[in-house]
Structure 1
Amino acid sequence: MCHHCLFLRTGLQEVNRAASIQHALAAMLLGQDDAVALTLAGFSIGMDGHDRAAAFTAFEAALDISPSSALTYILGSVILGWGGEAERAIEWSERGMRLSPFDSWAFAAFDAQAMSHLLRGRYDEACRAAYKSVQANPAHSITYVQLAAALAKLGHLDEARAAAARVLELQPAFRYGRQFAGVNCAPALAEAMGGALRDAGLLE
């Protein structure tokens, strides 16, 4: 997970992506009886390795061990969200939050909801979810990406530009095209967000 965060937040360097995948594969091999290990490994494989099928094989194994693993549902919802599976992403995120309402990963569940509502054109709901994510983790740059897109879609350009400025404070090298490629963003979601982020002042 450390290498995953380095990959997505410090310039999408291949060395970090490769290390994330390498350690995830080791974790899946050595942690077959550990739901947390399987969940974190599956997340890295899905996000950085772009192998969502393998990610959900790991998530299902984690849920076999621990059916009430909120972390599994929350991180699974993020992969579903970026993959464009909006309704399933919302379902998984809500299930994770029901299992653990004050989870330290709650921001990720709200992120999944925000991008899923964006994809479906529900911009007010996307804003609400993004604001909840900001409240849960105000230092998470991607939340402000989704907030900026939703606000721009609603025509609130001053607020959208303020959210975009916060993205660049937290992640100065951010470019949405590179970020979308890094997480293998579904084309429909990239299209839904791209123009709005440009309107908010972010560069591709």
Structure 2
Amino acid sequence: MGDIKIDSSLLFGGYNWRVLDIQNNRALIMTEYIIEQRAYHDAYKDITWADCALRKYLNGEFYDKFNVTDKSRIIPVINKNPDNQWYGSKGGADTKDSIFLLSIEEVVCKYFGDSSSKLYNPGKNQRYWFEKKDENNSKRIARLPGEKWSTWWWLRSPGRVNVKAVYIHGDGNIGIQGNNILKGNISDGKCIGGVRPSLWLKL
């Protein structure tokens, strides 16, 4: 795998990944690019990460794309799913995941710089978005291969209500109010949620 360190890239299972963290001979990695576009859930109803269709897909059909050797290196973890910090919508039960999406805390406070002050102390004008001038926005921008412009991508955290999920806007800003969980099913192609899977990899 070469010299693996935080913020380096690696090839695993046919995808390019970015190393976000290293702990005890394992690395947290997330796909470098948006790998596909899918809905967060397949029905318009209150939902949390624990029960959503996207989690089922990532830990089922997507996970099964890896060969036996690669699967043996993917480490299942228990993920916490806190409530939305601005709106109080429920994050749901803890989950055991082999493949997962990052949470708002992980994206805002840990792996793309520290913007925690904006998460826990929103300004009077921060009703739906973080500051567009947030210094860490550029670190969160991602594209779908073949697309000229950056694309928005899902987090696993709930939005303002539980028919929405938090997302990263095309400019890297945090859509903490959330997008409709069925956005992946809209036929006009303008607002389809991007997927950037994450996993813990045995080194």
Q: What's the TM-score, normalizing by structure 2?
A: 0.30
Higher helix share: 1
Higher strand share: 2
Higher relative contact order (CA 8 A, sep 6+): 2
